[in-house]
């Protein structure tokens, strides 16, 4: 398509902004009635009758009047005769107007979850005493009626309605007055549904569906995703000048638009932490601009995923029944590609204005009805982004030739300062762009924009810092693979609670066919397989066409849409092909088809709403962890640990550079300040707990002089005359979050706080991911280093550790014991290293029912044993945690931890030893025991020196023990611990065991070597 055609598409989208954003708002609101607590009470059996579709009837002025402006003569899209149809018929059969797209979007976002007929899923209901909102990993988050969130408090719904009214009025006003002003629209949208938006906040705290186990997706997830899909579908219809409005619900598809920037290049080139923080800020700012472009300016889609390098948006797709000649009113591939190019041009303009050294990427997926392909596209994007110049790109503001190349970006020429005395000082200067990036984050800091940005403030009493990197294996969940292990129902329970099946869809009750459930209650699983296979074989004689005059009662009661299907092939395409990575119908025989149909009918689905929720949950996990880390790092007996001071120099304040840092020593302690020309004073940017005692007053610094050096390498004296509290930035938490994406969280903390931070993360992970402990590993990388270690070495080391951890392969652990008590199953497992590990898996719901939805593990077996066991069509067997027996082999994706101490920067190339994460707890316990039992630090050092010496002597060059030495060394360890430290009894057994496993050595290295921990003598 030609360039003018591309521009025309962009223009058309901008001209339709009001309509598209109105559609999105309708999408957010279409289920607003569910935000009323009576919705929960009604389904909780409280005898309250509540119709969630009636909420808009109390709006004054009415919904239809408030949106009447949509019926403008220039609007080319068919609207329903009553605008209330958006709110009343979103879950009905397809309408031939705009409502049809909302129906399609609603079905994609939540309809596929609710295709359970209500009559046969009654037993899955929650009652008013236990109306839980759960995490997507089964962790009960809140009992919504017993402990209501603010959004469900008395009167909250009425004020919600008021705000909704205002939202609609503002929408109308914007449509009339500010249609062309994208910024006004952006503010309107962000206020409602941005990170702190009121509508988002309210809908996040309650449910769209009360039945188990769909109580894991909030009203927000469903509404937001439906709105995003609705908006994109309408945008597609406008661009394609859609004239065919039939079967929208069944035929509409979407694409995914991915936009990325290779942020890891900026990270790898950062010399100082400020370079990375500055680049990260710019990249985040750029991502926000892109979001604004796609979501508001063009209003063509909405964000459904974001990480450190990529953004994914909904985008109009090609209809399912389109042919190469006829797109049937949807956006064909040529036009989609033209629009992608036009968007690319816009995106690149933003990247140029941010002066990025590398080009952004704009990718479009094929048309789809599920988002499970999103992960493949993100991987593809990351691969392309791994090449810095994956397409031609002129580096903005290249700068005049001559001088040195900038030490950060390595592409522009730098700008030496006039003060620079040595060639080395000149070489280290950065270019204008990199200098601006450093400055940009300083500006934010002066305005108290969050945490500290100074490593010198993070450093602990020994001048040491830890970079903690945590990752969750979230991609495997978003791609749907791990969701295979989650159930929406147990086959056994479904049969048990539905002994009789009927034609619930026949209105006249007296005419309904009612029969006993034909599945054998004793072997339901086999019986169901046999049944579905029979249905398939029978239909095979008529090319899989279905005669629905007599609907199969089993399938008709398992899936609401089944009775309307005209062929099993079509049913298969919707239930299986559309929602999984299954082979196509044509590649399978009837037996395999039956297996797939059954698997899909009983599993939880990676629906768009749930995929979106996976993303958000992983981010929330890290956000909450950061809050805890702030508290941990800020808790210090010396209040100066978290304070800053403003120092006024005596005499002439000239000769200091604005916003430059100056470092020296105050007594024994490292001391660092930043000069601000506007106030002619210095702000401390170091750990003041090392300079001042807890009870000392700030004025004790006045009158003192410090020798300091700046970046120019010159030494000079800072005489402190007066001391104040600085404005806005007087206090801080000594943590620096470096990165927070759904996959990974990196943060700098004082090394002395690192163990507690790690233990906190482990506890939180165990609590929230206990049901999926085997499939959602928490991987932890720890880089500990002295404050002055170059940032590049630290970050490279972190990346090496992370890469090692990513390589972690699944392992088979053997069950040693399995005991269930009070709703918790305690599994004792024998790991690959022969050590025992105990895992606590919650296997009951808060209301006491068995949790048959989440706690399944993959087992080595190919045979089904327990009634709750189930088999994936690829033959993998999943078993309920409480049904495991001694000897069962469980496939585990282990949580591991790797740590390194960068006492020399060369260490970053060494392969660090990796441990099971639970061993970190064992290591800490071992230290506690040592600290309690050893008579003194000196005695412990002496004892360990003896053991270490023998250990070195008795090992080969490759690190292995010489023959028989290993047992002898352990005996020696026992003797030394007993004789030199006086340890006996159980403590001696424990410590000898720890010596055997290497845990003792780890405990001593970590606490004596890294933490420089003392001991009470």
Contact residues for Zn ion (CB under 5 A)?
406, 408-409, 412, 430-431, 434
Residue 842 Cβ vs Zn ion, minimum distance, rounded to whole Å: 52
Identify which of residues 279 and 468 has a Cβ nearer to Zn ion in the complex: 279
Fill in the DSSP letter of residue 47.
S
Residue 793 Cβ vs Zn ion, minimum distance, rounded to whole Å: 20
Identify which of residues 408 and 827 has a Cβ nearer to Zn ion in the complex: 408
Residue 411 Cβ vs Zn ion, minimum distance, rounded to whole Å: 7
Identify which of residues 517 and 792 has a Cβ nearer to Zn ion in the complex: 792
Phi-psi map region of 157: left, alpha, beta (phi>0 left; psi -120 to 50 alpha): alpha
Q: What are phi and psi of 328, to 5 degrees?
A: 50, 45
Residue 139 Cβ vs Zn ion, minimum distance, rounded to whole Å: 45
Burial classification of residue 264, based on how many CB atoms lie within 10 Å of its CB (0-12 exposed, 13-18 middle, 19 or more buried): middle
Secondary structure E strands in 627-743: 646-649, 661-666, 669-676, 681-684, 705-709, 715-724, 736-740
CB-CB contact of 259 with 311 (8 Å) = yes
Residue 427 Cβ vs Zn ion, minimum distance, rounded to whole Å: 13
Residue 431 Cβ vs Zn ion, minimum distance, rounded to whole Å: 3
Identify which of residues 398 and 704 has a Cβ nearer to Zn ion in the complex: 398
Q: What are the beta bridge partners of residue 1003?
A: none
Instruction: Kindly state the tokens that stand for 922.
Output: 């064992």
Residue 34 Cβ vs Zn ion, minimum distance, rounded to whole Å: 52
Identify which of residues 437 and 880 has a Cβ nearer to Zn ion in the complex: 437
Residue 269 Cβ vs Zn ion, minimum distance, rounded to whole Å: 9
Phi-psi map region of 93: left, alpha, beta (phi>0 left; psi -120 to 50 alpha): beta
Question: If we measure between CA atoms, which residue out of 476, 477, 520, 484 comes closest to residue 870?
Answer: 484
Identify which of residues 408 and 536 has a Cβ nearer to Zn ion in the complex: 408
Residue 584 Cβ vs Zn ion, minimum distance, rounded to whole Å: 51
CB-CB contact of 669 with 693 (8 Å) = no
Residues 501-507: contacts with CB under 8 Å, at least 24 apart: 501/120, 501/553, 501/554, 501/557, 502/119, 502/553, 502/557, 503/551, 503/553, 503/556, 504/117, 504/119, 504/120, 504/557, 505/551, 505/556, 505/563
Identify which of residues 231 and 280 has a Cβ nearer to Zn ion in the complex: 280
Using CA atoms, how far apart are residues 494 and 899, in angstroms rounded to an integer? 48
Residue 92 Cβ vs Zn ion, minimum distance, rounded to whole Å: 58
Residue 432 Cβ vs Zn ion, minimum distance, rounded to whole Å: 8
Identify which of residues 240 and 431 has a Cβ nearer to Zn ion in the complex: 431
Q: Kindly list the distances between the CA atom of residue 460 and the CA atoms of 152, 644, 905, in Å, as whole numbers in the listed order.
A: 45, 15, 19
Question: If we measure between CA atoms, which residue out of 905, 896, 897, 1009 comes closest to residue 948?
Answer: 1009
Using CA atoms, how far apart are residues 290 and 302, in angstroms rounded to an integer? 11
Question: If we measure between CA atoms, which residue out of 315, 642, 266 comes closest to residue 437?
Answer: 266
Instruction: Kindly state the tokens that stand for 351.
Output: 């990247």
Identify which of residues 359 and 777 has a Cβ nearer to Zn ion in the complex: 359
Identify which of residues 617 and 792 has a Cβ nearer to Zn ion in the complex: 792
Using CA atoms, how far apart are residues 374 and 479, in angstroms rounded to an integer? 7
Using CA atoms, how far apart are residues 897 and 590, in angstroms rounded to an integer? 46
Question: If we measure between CA atoms, which residue out of 291, 299, 59 comes closest to residue 169?
Answer: 59
- Which residues fall within 8 angstroms of residue 314, CB to CB, at 6 or more apart? 228, 229, 231, 232, 254, 256, 257, 301, 302, 304
Identify which of residues 270 and 898 has a Cβ nearer to Zn ion in the complex: 270
Residue 347 Cβ vs Zn ion, minimum distance, rounded to whole Å: 22
Residue 435 Cβ vs Zn ion, minimum distance, rounded to whole Å: 8
Identify which of residues 237 and 434 has a Cβ nearer to Zn ion in the complex: 434
Identify which of residues 23 and 408 has a Cβ nearer to Zn ion in the complex: 408
Identify which of residues 298 and 434 has a Cβ nearer to Zn ion in the complex: 434
Residue 408 Cβ vs Zn ion, minimum distance, rounded to whole Å: 5
Identify which of residues 431 and 867 has a Cβ nearer to Zn ion in the complex: 431
Fill in the DSSP letter of residue 453.
-
The rounded Cα 239 to chain-centroid distance in angstroms is 33
Using CA atoms, how far apart are residues 489 and 487, in angstroms rounded to an integer? 5
Residue 997 Cβ vs Zn ion, minimum distance, rounded to whole Å: 48
Question: If we measure between CA atoms, which residue out of 1002, 796, 778, 800 comes closest to residue 912?
Answer: 800
């Amino acid at each position: 398509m030609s360039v003018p055609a591309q521009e025309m598409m962009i223009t058309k989208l901008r001209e339709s902004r009001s309509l598209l954003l109105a559609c999105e708002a309708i999408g957010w609101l279409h289920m607003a009635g569910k935000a009323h607590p009576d919705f929960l009470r009604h389904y909780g059996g409280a005898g309250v009758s509540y119709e969630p579709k009636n909420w808009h009837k109390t709006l004054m002025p009415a919904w239809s009047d408030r949106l009447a402006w949509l019926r403008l003569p220039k609007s080319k899209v068919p609207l329903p005769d009553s605008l209330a149809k958006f709110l009343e018929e979103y879950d009905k059969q397809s309408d031939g107007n705009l409502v049809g797209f909302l129906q399609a979007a609603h079905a994609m976002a939540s309809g596929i979850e609710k295709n359970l007929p209500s009559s046969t899923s009654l037993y899955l209901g929650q009652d008013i005493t236990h109306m839980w909102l759960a995490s997507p990993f089964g962790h009960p988050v809140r009992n919504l009626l017993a402990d209501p969130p603010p959004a469900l408090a008395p009167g909250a719904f009425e004020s919600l309605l008021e705000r909704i009214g205002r939202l609609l009025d503002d929408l109308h006003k914007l449509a009339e007055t500010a249609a062309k002003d994208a910024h006004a629209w952006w503010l309107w949208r962000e206020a409602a549904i941005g990170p702190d938006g009121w509508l988002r906040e309210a809908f996040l705290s309650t449910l769209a569906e009360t039945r188990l186990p769909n109580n894991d997706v909030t009203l927000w997830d469903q509404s937001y995703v439906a709105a995003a899909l609705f908006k994109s579908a309408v945008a597609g219809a406008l661009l394609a000048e859609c004239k065919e409005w039939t079967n929208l619900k069944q035929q509409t598809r979407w694409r995914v638009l991915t936009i990325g920037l290779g942020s890891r290049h900026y990270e790898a080139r950062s010399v100082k932490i400020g370079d990375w923080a500055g680049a990260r800020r710019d990249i985040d700012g750029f991502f926000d601009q892109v979001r604004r472009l796609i979501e508001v300016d063009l209003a063509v889609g909405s964000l459904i995923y974001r990480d450190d390098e990529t953004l994914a948006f909904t985008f109009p797709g090609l209809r399912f029944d389109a042919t190469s000649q006829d797109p049937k009113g949807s956006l064909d591939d040529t036009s989609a590609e033209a629009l992608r190019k036009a968007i690319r041009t816009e995106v690149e303009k933003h990247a140029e204005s941010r002066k990025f050294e590398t080009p952004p990427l704009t990718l479009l997926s094929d048309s789809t009805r599920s988002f499970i392909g999103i992960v493949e596209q993100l991987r593809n994007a990351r691969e392309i982004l791994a090449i810095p110049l994956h397409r031609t790109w002129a580096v903005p503001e290249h700068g005049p030739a001559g001088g040195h190349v900038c030490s950060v970006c390595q592409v522009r020429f730098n700008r030496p300062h006039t003060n620079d005395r040595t060639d080395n000082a000149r070489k280290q200067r950065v270019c204008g762009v990199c200098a601006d990036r450093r400055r940009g984050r300083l500006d934010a800091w002066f305005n108290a924009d969050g945490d500290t940005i100074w490593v010198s403030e993070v450093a602990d009493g020994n001048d040491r810092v830890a970079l903690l990197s945590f990752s969750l294996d979230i991609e495997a969940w978003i791609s749907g693979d791990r969701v295979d292990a989650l159930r929406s129902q147990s086959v056994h329970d479904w049969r048990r609670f539905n002994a009789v099946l009927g034609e619930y869809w026949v209105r006249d009750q007296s005419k309904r066919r009612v029969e006993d459930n034909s599945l054998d209650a004793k072997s339901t699983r086999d019986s169901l397989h046999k049944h579905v296979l029979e249905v398939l074989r029978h239909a095979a004689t008529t090319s899989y066409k279905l005669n629905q005059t007599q609907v199969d009662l089993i399938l008709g009661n398992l899936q609401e849409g089944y009775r309307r299907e005209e062929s099993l092939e079509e049913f298969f395409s919707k239930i299986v092909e559309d929602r999984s990575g299954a082979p196509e119908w044509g590649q399978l025989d009837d037996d395999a088809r039956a297996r797939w149909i059954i698997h899909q009918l009983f599993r939880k689905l990676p629906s768009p709403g749930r995929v979106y929720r996976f993303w958000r949950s992983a981010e929330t996990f890290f956000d909450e962890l950061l809050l805890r880390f702030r508290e941990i790092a800020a808790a210090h007996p010396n209040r100066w640990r978290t304070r800053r001071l403003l120092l006024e120099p005596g005499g002439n304040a000239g000769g200091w550079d604005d916003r430059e840092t100056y470092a020296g020593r105050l007594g024994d302690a490292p001391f660092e300040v930043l000069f601000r020309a506007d106030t002619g004073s210095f702000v401390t940017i170091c750990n003041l707990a090392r300079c001042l005692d807890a009870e000392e007053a700030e004025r004790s610094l006045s009158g003192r002089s410090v020798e300091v050096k700046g970046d120019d390498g010159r030494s000079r004296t800072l005489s402190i005359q007066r001391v104040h509290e600085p404005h806005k930035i007087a206090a801080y938490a000594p943590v620096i979050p470096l990165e927070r994406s759904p996959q990974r969280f990196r943060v700098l903390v004082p090394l002395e706080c690192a163990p507690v931070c790690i233990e906190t993360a482990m506890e939180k992970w165990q609590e929230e991911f206990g049901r999926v402990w085997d499939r959602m590993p928490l991987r932890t990388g720890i880089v500990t280093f002295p404050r002055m270690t170059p940032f590049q070495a630290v970050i490279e080391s972190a990346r090496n550790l992370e890469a090692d951890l990513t390589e972690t392969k699944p392992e088979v652990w053997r069950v040693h014991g399995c005991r269930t008590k009070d709703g918790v199953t305690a599994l004792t497992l024998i790991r690959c290293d022969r050590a025992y590990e105990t895992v606590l898996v919650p296997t009951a719901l808060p209301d006491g029912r068995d949790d048959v939805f989440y706690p399944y593990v993959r087992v080595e077996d190919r045979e089904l044993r327990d009634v709750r066991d189930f088999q994936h069509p690829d033959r993998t067997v999943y078993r309920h945690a409480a049904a495991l027996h001694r000897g069962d082999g469980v496939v585990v994706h282990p949580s591991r931890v790797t740590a390194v101490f960068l006492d020399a920067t060369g260490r970053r190339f060494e392969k660090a030893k990796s441990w099971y994460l639970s061993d970190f707890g064992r290591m800490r316990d071992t230290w506690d025991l040592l600290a309690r039992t050893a008579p003194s630090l000196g005695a412990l050092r002496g004892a360990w020196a003896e053991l270490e010496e023998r250990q070195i002597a008795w090992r080969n060059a490759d690190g292995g023990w010489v023959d028989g030495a290993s047992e002898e060394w352990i005996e020696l360890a026992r003797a030394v611990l007993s004789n030199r430290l006086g340890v006996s009894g159980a403590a001696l057994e424990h410590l000898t065991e720890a010596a055997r496993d290497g845990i003792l050595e780890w405990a001593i290295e970590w606490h004596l070597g890294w933490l420089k921990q003392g001991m009470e003598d």
